[in-house]
């Protein structure tokens, strides 16, 4: 039985779904991934120069400008068929009385723009900026920012509302992710190199619990041999096929 058919079997028999997505699910929307050689963000710079609290303390203007440019870029991108298929899948599972939680490492908000509602942003969002003095989060700052860095009303600075290397994930996101993984009957990893923890650990934890598991990824990853079915290919092509085949089989 082909991979797609086996994947459909797992999907059809699931009622409590957890999906983990990474940059690969937004690649076909034009958002660069992190570790792809030619287009990945990291290929253009050393992450330690821009994606750490120390980098912001050292050079808040450059870090603020780089994140503001990424914010502008993702707002000009559109959800792709992979995002849309995930939103439709969620709606159908929840509509049938099941549960569906989408854990994402992405900070581009494209899942929400595609209609996904039960989204947990493990690494924050490019649309959020947080005051360094009060911790207040705003998503309505001018686009582009008037100058870099932008001062906050409290006399601090607005820093990007994303998780940097060496920082903890938002407590609420961790709590929601752990609750979802602890009670799911299917875990699906899509478009992630499965190298960054704790995100990668959630899928491994579900697999270790004996939960049915599926991967959709362009390249092999460290979890490809762990999951029940690993489909090689593009999220924008495979996810709509899974959705169509699974809808045909529901009822």
Is residue 161 near ligand OAD by the rule CB under 6 A? no
Is residue 163 near ligand OAD by the rule CB under 6 A? yes
Give, to the nearest 10 degrees, the angle between helix 81-95 and helix 235-249: 30
Enter the DSSP assignment of 51: S
Tell me which of 125, 128, 221, 230 binds ligand OAD, using CB under 6 A: 221
Is residue 189 near ligand OAD by the rule CB under 6 A? no
Nearer to ligand OAD among residue 124 and residue 149 (C-beta)? 124
Is residue 148 near ligand OAD by the rule CB under 6 A? no
How far is it, in rounded angstroms, from Cα 84 to Cα 167? 31
Which sign does the torsion angle of CA 184, 92, 116, 190 carry?
A: positive
Minimum gap (Å) between residue 190 Cβ and ligand OAD: 7
Please name which of 57, 8, 34 lies closest in space to residue 249, comparing C-alpha atoms: 8
Minimum gap (Å) between residue 121 Cβ and ligand OAD: 10
Nearest residue to ligand OAD, by Cβ distance, number only = 24
Nearer to ligand OAD among residue 42 and residue 151 (C-beta)? 42
Minimum gap (Å) between residue 199 Cβ and ligand OAD: 7
Minimum gap (Å) between residue 81 Cβ and ligand OAD: 11
Nearer to ligand OAD among residue 195 and residue 244 (C-beta)? 195
Place of tokens 């041999």: 225
Is residue 218 near ligand OAD by the rule CB under 6 A? yes
Is 111 annotated as catalytic?
Answer: no
Please name which of 39, 30, 66 lies closest in space to residue 50, comparing C-alpha atoms: 66
Strands 158-162 and 124-131: antiparallel
Tell me which of 112, 192, 213, 230 binds ligand OAD, using CB under 6 A: 192
Is residue 196 near ligand OAD by the rule CB under 6 A? yes
CA 24 to chain centroid: 9
β-partners of residue 102 are 19, 119
Residue 12-41 contact track with ligand OAD, rule CB under 6 A, x = bound: ----------xxx--xx----xxxx---x-
* Residues 106 and 23: beta-carbon distance below 8 Å: yes
- Tokens in use for 163? 């998780």
Please name which of 193, 196, 195, 188 lies closest in space to residue 239, comparing C-alpha atoms: 188
Q: Give residues 47-76 in contact with ligand OAD (rule: CB under 6 A).
A: none
Q: If binding means CB under 6 A, how many residues of this protein chain bind ligand OAD?
A: 25
Q: Which helix (H) or strand (E) holds 97?
A: none
Residue from 83, 111, 123, 147 carrying the catalytic annotation: 123
* Residues 162 and 124: beta-carbon distance below 8 Å: yes
Q: Where along the sequence are the contacts to ligand OAD (CB under 6 A)?
A: 22-24, 27-28, 33-36, 40, 105, 123, 163, 191-193, 195-196, 217-219, 221, 234-236
Active site residues: 123
């Amino acid at each position: 039985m082909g991979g797609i058919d086996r994947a459909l079997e797992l999907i059809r028999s699931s009622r409590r779904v957890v999906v983990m997505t990474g940059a690969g699910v937004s690649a076909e929307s034009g958002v660069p991934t992190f570790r792809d050689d030619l287009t990945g963000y990291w290929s253009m710079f050393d992450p330690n120069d821009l994606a750490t609290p120390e980098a912001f303390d050292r050079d808040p203007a450059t870090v603020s400008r780089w994140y503001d440019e990424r914010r502008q870029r993702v707002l000009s991108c559109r959800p792709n068929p992979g995002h849309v298929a995930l939103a439709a899948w969620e709606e159908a599972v929840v509509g049938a009385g099941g549960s569906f939680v989408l854990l994402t490492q992405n900070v581009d908000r494209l899942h929400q723009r595609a209609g996904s509602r039960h989204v947990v942003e493990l690494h924050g969002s490019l649309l959020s900026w947080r005051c360094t003095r009060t911790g207040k989060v705003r998503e309505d700052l001018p686009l582009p920012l008037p100058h870099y860095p932008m001062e906050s009303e409290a006399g601090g600075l607005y820093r990007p509302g994303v998780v940097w290397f060496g920082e903890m994930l938002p407590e609420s996101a961790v709590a929601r992710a752990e609750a979802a993984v602890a009670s799911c009957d299917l875990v699906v990893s899509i478009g992630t190199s499965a190298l960054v923890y704790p995100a990668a650990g959630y899928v491994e934890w579900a697999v270790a619990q004996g939960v049915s598991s599926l991967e959709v990824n362009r390249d092999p990853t460290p979890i490809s041999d762990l999951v029940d079915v690993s489909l090689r290919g593009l999220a924008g092509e495979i996810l709509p096929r899974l959705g169509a085949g699974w809808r045909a089989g529901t009822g």
